[in-house]
Amino acid sequence: MRFLTSLTTFGAALAVATPAFAAGDVFFSLANTDFVVLLAFLLFIAVLFYFNVPTLIAGMLDKRAEGIQSELDEARALRDEAQALLASYERKQREVQDQADRIVASAREDAKLAAEQARADLEVSLQRRMTAAEEQIANAQAAAIKDVRDQSVAIAIAAAREVIAKQLSASDANALIDDAIGQVEKKLH
């Protein structure tokens, strides 16, 4: 019913607006090509509506719209997934960069501590060497002093021997020897 009403309204509007009708010729005649074309067009429209072509076309357009909508939804989902993946990779990159910065900072701190330890070890080593050198110098000095004393004592004994030998007579020397032997016997007993 709706179809016939719209078809009649369309035909009337078309008939009223035709140039032949405005010129005064008879429009509703099969000799008029405009009327024949209008009838063929109306018949074509009626056949389309009879076979539910507009419904089929609308259904196909709806299916196509649904397919396009599902593709858009899928594209949105893929875009959201890609953005989430990108955010994840950016977060991982920041974490790796932070970790690399911490490793570099730790390496610098370790290098600084190692340099300080090396300085401390060098100072200890130098102090040990200085102490060893001072001990060697002190030992050498003590040995030199001992050598000098030993030589002084040897020279003094030799000089005393010569002086005593020149100044003492044989009887005084024998008396001194006897006196020394007596003192040794007293000290031993």
Quickly count: other Cβ atoms within 10 Å of residue 32's Cβ: 16
pLDDT in tens, 91-146: 999 999 999 999 999 999 999 999 999 999 999 999 999 999 899 998 988 888 88
Q: Which long-range contacts (CB under 8 A, 24 or more apart) does 31-40 make?
A: 38/11, 38/14
User: What 3 state SS string does 124-169 have?
Assistant: HHHHHHHHHHHHHHHHHHHHHHHHHHHHHHHHHHHHHHHHHHHHCC
Going by pLDDT thresholds of 50, 70 and 90, the confidence category of residue 20 is: very low
* Token pair in block for residue 52: 């539910």
pLDDT at 152 over 50: yes
CA Rg value for the chain: 67
Across 68-77, 96-105, 176-185, least confident range: 176-185
pLDDT confidence of residue 99: 96
C-alpha 40/C-alpha 33 separation (Å) is 10
Cβ pair 3, 49 in contact under 8 A: yes
pLDDT of 22 strictly over 80 = no
DSSP 8-state code for residue 43: H
Cα→Cα distances 84→67, 108, 126, Å: 25, 36, 62
Cβ within 8 Å of residue 29, ≥6 positions away:
35
Q: What is the mean pLDDT of the chain?
A: 84
Question: Model-level pTM?
Answer: 0.39
Q: Read off the pLDDT of residues 26-47 as tens digits, 9 standing for 90 and up.
A: 788 888 899 999 999 999 999 9
Question: What's the confidence (pLDDT) of residue 38?
Answer: 94
pLDDT at 176: 76
Residues contacting 168, CB < 8 A, separation 6+: 176
Cα 73–Cα 74–Cα 75 angle in degrees, nearest 5: 90
CA distance 96 to 105: 14
Q: Is pLDDT of 62 > 50? A: yes
What sign does the dihedral 146-148-154-157 (CA atoms) show?
negative
Q: List the chain domain ranges.
A: 2-80, 106-188
Lowest mean pLDDT among 56-70, 135-149, 151-165: 151-165
Of the spans 9-18, 99-108, 161-170, which averages the highest pLDDT? 99-108
Q: pLDDT value at position 44?
A: 94
Judged against a pLDDT cut of 80, whether residue 171 lies above it is answered with no
